[in-house]
Amino acid sequence: MFDIPLMGEGTGSVEALPSYLHRCAYHHAVPTTKFLEYLHRECNRLHDHKQNYFKASQTVSMRSLLTYGEYPRIYVKVIKHLTGRNVAPATFLPLMAVVSQPQVEICRSARWCPECFKSIRDLGSEPYIKLVWHLSEVTHCPHHHTPLLEACPHCGADQNAVGRRLPLDVCHKCERSLSERAVAPVEISPSWVHQAGDLLRLLTHIPHRSADCFNASGLIKPEGLERSINDFSIRCAEPEFDAAYEYCWTNKDVRKQVWGCQSISLRTLRALAHLTNVDIIDLLSGNLLNRTKTMRYLWRQPVPEPLALNRSRDKHDHGKCFQRLTELARSETPLSLKEVARRAGLSIGYVNYRFPVLKQQIVARYEKHMEQLALEKHHRAMQAALRYFNSSQYEKHPKSRKQALKHLLGETDLTKLYLKPAIESAYQKYQQQ
């Protein structure tokens, strides 16, 4: 395996793991799915495990590579074994021992800044997707202050495909540049507004902390956060910090962290860092008292909405929710129940409880649509297989099932699930001629 450098290493603009894996696959001239399957084979060989079936396109999603799951840990370990390069800073794995798994903080879709892509390409470097762009709170580029995009400006396709073969600044569907905007950005963030600046500083500080902050596995030690939380709890008992006790000590995440029951959530950690007026990394390394001796706490100031510890639950307007769901249910392309609920900003449980009849209609329409798509793919696979064995266009190609599958996989966008039965049927008819 080639040793591909991690872009932006040691800065807040560090590359995300999905982007790094895409670039590695591109440099090895294979689809990303094939590259991931290669890493799994190397992992099994490294641990002397039996080779089990693994198909990346059916198992791995872009978002799963940014969590604390099994796959990012496997890829980080195998890449370090093969090349000696540590790509853990391209993930949130260093926080795994102290922070609970981030969920709402991570975006569902890949996002990018066209201006960043263009400037990186103009400098003669290789465009990549930054880890900070995957944070849902970051809606504008921290450098250009322009809105991030999550769909191709030319064809509207998202860029979440795991098996892409093209550079990251080229749409995998229409193959046009992602370094352009269809229209000029309407909303530009003011230069004095730094969205999620605390997280950007965290990504910058982690690679530069001393080895004492990390354990043997490369994770930030939980002792530092425990020391900061204990110091925080002692200060809350002092009379001048009544507001701190009232505001934060009622939060169950903080209480459970002090009692040693569970790791703290990233949102609570950010709120505590904001209220104690320190960086997150100082909170994690146990330097809370050292940093706040000469600094003022911010208990009396309102906390930004994304960091609010005790946010009131939003009450749904059932009439408006039903109207939104009905519009989505009648969309030109049928959507799954999960996608309808996501676009409406509702939970699946709420939709199922409040509108069971509408839910059944959405599910039935989507299932019928998927059956129709599957039938169309079966027809296309059969036509392609019959052409391969009977058309003069493929006269010079070997008439075997293996060669037919190999050729049609590259020529069509169909999978083995549809091609294998079609090739078998077409081959039997070819043999009978």
pTM higher than the cut 0.85: no
Average pLDDT value for residue range 7-22? 87
Residue 129 is which amino acid?
I
**412 has a pLDDT exceeding 50:** yes
pLDDT-derived band of residue 38, with 50, 70 and 90 as boundaries?
confident
**Displacement of CA 79 from its chain's centroid (Å):** 19
CA distances from 137 to 164, 199, 315 (A): 27, 10, 22
In whole numbers, what is the pLDDT of the chain averaged over residues?
Answer: 79
Distance of alpha carbon 339 from alpha carbon 345, whole angstroms: 10
Tell me the pLDDT tens digit for each residue of 262-285: 567 777 778 777 777 778 888 888
**322 has a pLDDT exceeding 80:** yes
Residue 188 is which amino acid?
I
Residue with tokens 């999905």: 18
Average pLDDT value for residue range 211-240? 72
pLDDT for 363: 93
Give me the helices (H) in 237-308, please: 242-244, 252-258, 266-275, 280-284, 288-292
pLDDT-derived band of residue 192, with 50, 70 and 90 as boundaries?
very low
Cβ proximity of 347 and 341 under 8 Å: yes
**57 has a pLDDT exceeding 70:** no
Largest Cα span, the chain: 95
Instruction: Give the CB-side neighbour count of residue 371, counting CA atoms within 13 A.
Output: 6
Residue with more model confidence, 238 or 128? 128
pLDDT-derived band of residue 233, with 50, 70 and 90 as boundaries?
low
Give me the helices (H) in 61-104, please: 70-83
Residues 81, 86, 91: CA angle, nearest 5 degrees? 120
Q: What percent of the chain has pLDDT over 70?
A: 80
Tell me the pLDDT tens digit for each residue of 87-141: 888 888 888 877 777 766 788 788 898 889 988 888 888 899 998 888 888 888 8
**Length of the chain counted residue by residue:** 433
Distance of alpha carbon 136 from alpha carbon 342, whole angstroms: 14
Report the chain's C-alpha Rg in angstroms.
26
Residues 239, 240, 241: CA angle, nearest 5 degrees? 90
pLDDT for 376: 93
Specify the 3-state DSSP secondary structure of 319.
helix
pLDDT-derived band of residue 2, with 50, 70 and 90 as boundaries?
confident
pLDDT-derived band of residue 309, with 50, 70 and 90 as boundaries?
low
pLDDT-derived band of residue 235, with 50, 70 and 90 as boundaries?
low
CA torsion, ordered 151, 157, 160, 162, to nearest 10 deg = -150
78 contact partners, CB below 8 Å, separation of at least 6: 39, 42, 43, 46
